[in-house]
Structure 1
Amino acid sequence: MFEIKKIESLNLKFINSLENFLDKSIIENDLYHFSNCDKLYNREDYVDDSHPTIPLNKCELSKFENSQILLDMENIIEFLKLQYDAKIIWMNVFYPHSTLPFHMDFTKNRHILSLNSDERFFNYECFETKSQNNHSTILELNDKLKIDNLDNFNKEFLLRQNTRIINLESKSVYSFGDTIHTFVNGSDKIRAAFVFEF
């Protein structure tokens, strides 16, 4: 079982630049309260049929029309390809007060490069055994997860057995996958991360 576990911290100019942009961006439009996932790279020898690969200039962060952040993203993608031999790379953007549903990623060797951090960037894990009904647990947790009442959800979540909530450090790589988990942005700023497999 792979819990969310820190692998390394990175101090690279292009990652620092992107972190700075994300932390200073202010979203005032309520229409932006959603999460987004763009597949930006798929190695030729790796078959993945879930989504098409999109060009960087069409990704979610391209909406900000900032050429520097696109260059920073391009540098990060090249870094992940060289450093980790990444075979697939996504960019996840969580606008303020948005979430993904609880889910599991079995045997994917999946990792996340957390670009920025905040005390309201929550990462939930539920450690269920193989004999338990994970599907029912996922449905139950997704039904209870309400972005407008995260503090109450957090209290109830931690009362369950085998659960934890952590905050990922900025500019850090974590492994994750074989647990029931989700990532939530309960803050007023943009949260972003690269997800990749190798």
Structure 2
Amino acid sequence: MKVVVSLVAVLLLASVAHSQSGRRPKDLKVQVPLPAQEETGADKPPKTIAAEVRATSITAERNQDYRCSDDGTLERILETAEGAAGNGTTEPNERILTSKETDSSVEITAKPKPSYTKEARRNGIQGFVVLRLLLSGNGKVSRVRVIRGLPAGLTENAMRAGCKMKFRPALKDGAPVSQWVIAEYAFRLSDSSIFRP
């Protein structure tokens, strides 16, 4: 008798739970406000929203090369016939040597930390971004290649931080040469501040 009563109770509770599981929440439609337009002078052409989005947001792909620009944006490098067949760079006279071939290796003097994105912090994304950077003989980061990335804009922020890296170039026979290096950026929620991005 106890078994029958407990079986009936379980069946009643299961049917109530099953009948409520088919409910769906209403879809919320959120309108995204447009950024405020800046006043443009006669010397500046007005920026369109589409141009701003293209300039600021780029989705980095694995094993693709990107060039750092002066305004902080990233540009994807499309291989030319000379670059693909030559030394793997867009600069025609750039010598790229390994650390074994140089007299002195690259010395990194400043490695800026990348910032967390709001989306990544909200979703609890953590991990490592691994980049391959071509440190040019002229003292600038020439190329950035993603080896391992993270979603929600963390890879792009690591690439922007890599572009700001300061270093002394490698030397071969007293002349500066370019060299590929691996840069690893750690993203941990415990290290990020909720008061800054």
Query: TM-score band (shorter)?
Result: under 0.3
What TM-score do the two structures reach when normalised by structure 1? Answer: 0.23
Query: Which structure has greater helix proportion?
Result: 1
Higher relative contact order structure (alpha carbons within 8 Å, sequence separation ≥ 6):
1
Larger Rg: 2
What TM-score do the two structures reach when normalised by structure 2? Answer: 0.23
Query: Which structure has greater strand proportion?
Result: 1
